[in-house]
Amino acid sequence: MPNLTPRSALAPFLHAGHHGAEGKSGVTLCEVTSCALAELTAFKGQKNALASAIVTAFGVSLPSANKTASKDRVTFVSVGPGKWLVTGEGQAERDLVTQLEKAAGSLAAVVDQSDARALVEISGDKARLALAKGVMVDLDPVAFKTGDAAVSFAVQFWITLWQTSDTPIYRLAVFRSMGRDLLHWLESSAAEFGCEISR
């Protein structure tokens, strides 16, 4: 029986190292590979019950529209009415799904999406300017802060975007097969600021 080696969404396309303008690193970019993703959708009329179940199981309140909520390694990102993208830092995909299924029972649908998205993390003092070359959402700290999230259309992709730190650090998820073009766009957009890409 052969063993199958997993490969991350961007592995074939991501070239670690310095890109763009020499001598500066305004933007840092990496693929987030150690993070399980699942979609949680409340069944009809179960939103409140689900919220309590999640508080009990995860110790966190499900975030309202355009917000995220985190506890320990798990982050809930609001992506629509009664719908959340859940990330489990350093978790095996199945563990996250199992945990969620256990917590939600018959209150919500849980779908593993760990492999359905390319997930990147963008940081650096020029990250906002680079992102502004495609993202229509106002990312200025007065409008978008740590814990804020947006589902939007950027460049040519549907994106889920959320901020994880004030420094700032953003996470951006797109459909897996769009990852290559996302990366290409980000690299081009960040090039004038100098871009550090790591795996």
Partner 1 sequence: MSQLHRIASGGLINRTKPLSFKFDGKSYQGFEGDTLASALLANNVQLVARSFKYHRPRGILTAGSEEPNALVELRSGARHEPNVRSTVAELYDGLVAQSQNRWPSLGFDLGAVNSLLSPFFAAGFYYKTFMWPAAFWEKVYEPLIRRAAGLGKPPLHDDVDGYEKAFAHCDVLVIGAGPAGLSAALAAARSGARVILADEGPLLGGRLLSDKRVIGNQSGLDWVRATEAELASLPNVRLMPRTTIFGAYDHGVYGALERVNDHVATPPAYEPRQRAYRIYAKRAVLAAGAIERPHVFGNNDRPGVMLGSAMRTYINRYAVLPTKRVAIFTSSDEAYATAQDLIAAGGSVQAIIDTRADATISAPKDIPHFKGAQILNAHGNKQVQGVEIKLADGTIRILDCDGVAMSNGWNPAVHLTCHQGGRPVWDEKVNAFLPGTPPPGMSVAGAAQGHFGLKETLVDGSQLGAAAADELGFKAQAIAPPDTDPESLAHKPLWRVKSSSGKCFVDFQHDVTDTDIELANREGFRSVEHMKRYTTLGMATDQGKTANISGLAILGEASGRTMAEVGTTIFRPPYTPVSLGALAGHHVHKNFRPTRLTPSHQWAEEQGAVFMETGLWMRAQFFPKKKSEGWLEAMSREVEITRSKVGVCDVSTLGKIDFQGKDVGTFLDRVYTGTFSTLAVGKVRYGLMMREDGFVQDDGTTARLSEHHWLMTTTTAGAGKVMAHLEFCHQVLWPELDIAFTSVTEQWAQYSIAGPHARDVLKKLVDVQHDMSNDAFPYMACGAITICNGIPARLFRISFSGELAYEIGVPNRYGDALVRAIMKAGEEFGITPYGLEALSTMRIEKGHVAGGELNGQTTPRDLGLIKMVSQKKDCIGKHMSERPAMLEPDRPIFVGLKPKNPNAKITGGAHFLDKGAKPSLENDLGHMMSVAYSPMLKSWIGLGLVKRGRERIGDTIRAVDFVRGTEFDVEICDPVFFDPEGARLRA
Closest CA to 112 of 103, 121, 127, 100: 100
Q: At what angle do helices 47-58 and 93-104 cross, to 10 degrees?
A: 120
* Residue 15 engages partner 1 in binding (rule: CB under 8 A): no
Closer Cβ to partner 1, 11 or 16, answer by number: 11
In the bound state with partner 1, the residue whose beta carbon lies nearer, of 20 and 147, is 20
Q: How many other β-carbons are positioned within 10 Å of the β-carbon of residue 142?
A: 6
66 interacts with partner 1 by CB under 8 A: no
Q: How many residues does the chain have?
A: 199
Task: CB nearer to partner 1: give 48 or 156.
Answer: 156
**Contact, 25 vs 195, CB < 8 A?**
yes
Binding residue for partner 1, selected from 51, 116, 125, 146, defined by CB under 8 A: 116
Region near partner 1 per CB under 8 A, out of 8-16, 55-63, 69-77, 162-170: 8-16
CA distances from 135 to 1, 101, 155, 156, 185 (A): 46, 33, 7, 10, 11
Q: Bridge-partner residues for 76, per DSSP?
A: 69, 86
What is the C-alpha to C-alpha distance for residues 61 and 58, in angstroms, rounded to an integer? 8
12 binds partner 1 (CB under 8 A): yes
Find the binder of partner 1 among 53, 62, 108, 161 (CB under 8 A). Answer: 108
Site string for partner 1, 119-158 (x = CB under 8 A): -------------xxxxx-x-x-xx-----------xxx-
Q: Are 14 and 181 in contact (CB under 8 A)?
A: no
Site for partner 1 in 176-195 (CB under 8 A): 176-178, 180-181, 184-185, 188-189, 191-192
Query: Could you tell me which stretch among 59-67, 69-77, 161-169, 175-183 binds partner 1 (CB under 8 A)?
Result: 175-183
Q: Applying CB under 8 A, what is the total number of residues that bind partner 1?
A: 53
- Burial-class residue 49 by CB neighbours within 10 Å (0-12, 13-18, 19+): middle
Binding site for partner 1 (CB under 8 A): 1-9, 12, 20-21, 39, 41-45, 93-94, 108-109, 111-117, 132-136, 138, 140, 142-143, 155-157, 175-178, 180-181, 184-185, 188-189, 191-192
